[in-house]
Amino acid sequence: MSRRNKLQKFAEVLSFPNVYENFDASNPSLAGENGVQVDLKGKWQEVHFKNDQPITLELACGKGDYAIGLAQRFPDRNFIGVDIKGARIWRGAKTALEAGLQNVAFLRTRIEQLSLFFDENEVDEIWITFPDPFLRKGKENRRLTSPNFLSQYPKLLKSGGLVHLKTDDPTLYEYTLEVLAEQKNYTLLYHDDDIYAKPLPMPELEIKTFYEKQHLAAGKTIKYIRFQLDA
């Protein structure tokens, strides 16, 4: 993508009513439509969605394929795609606006800073769909299912809240199972190293992201883990 095209998208996304951006990680705050500063911590339902429906996050959402797919299937729930890449956020937000989806929004920020923008018990569910597995030695703590990140989710996830991981990467899959075995505040509910080899356990897994379609075309198997924050 050319620099000019990126700048055009960054300018356009500022006008979107379904996007909030944290531009400076060292001085975190949220800018909404037309750059207006907003405080949404503990207020996402009231201020943005204007309802009291449960909130689901898609972390490292990319173009928001899963957040959009879930929003289409579950109009009685709210969905927020989270990513740091502005061009990806632009695509997901534009798709949602074109589809008339009122129950999906996007947040541009580092995932490490989520607790700055969500209150305790504000999130009901988290989806982690095809994240970077960070396979290089010494990068394990950057995995979204590392102890580092798992210790952060309880700051915003309700007790009993679900976390889903969908991945093609066997290393990340096995790593996550190993980490969960050592966790005291999460319970492993389900895991499968080849979900399409049998009937799917839940219809949400039918949603396929851009990357998942590529992985399937390359002959890779898709893996899934579901776990729960203990009450």
Contact between 66 and 129 (Cβ < 8 Å): yes
Strand pairing report for 30-31 and 37-38: antiparallel
The Cα–Cα gap between 102 and 87 comes to 21
132 is catalytic: yes
- Reported in sequence order, the residue ranges of the chain that DSSP labels E, i.e. its strands, are 19-21, 30-31, 37-38, 55-59, 78-83, 104-108, 123-129, 157-167, 186-192, 223-229
Cβ count within 10 A of residue 98: 8
Q: Which of 52, 65, 132, 194 is catalytic?
A: 132
Q: Which residues contact 121 (CB under 8 A, 6 or more apart)?
A: 156, 157, 158, 159
Rounded to 5°, the CA angle 82-209-176 comes to 70
Spell out a b/e string for 152-178, using b for 16 or more CB atoms within 10 Å of the CB, else e: bbbebbbeebbbbbbbbbeebbebbbe
Spell out a b/e string for 184-220, using b for 16 or more CB atoms within 10 Å of the CB, else e: eebeeeebbeebeeeeeeeebbebbbebbeebeeeee
Where in the sequence numbering do the catalytic residues fall?
Answer: 132
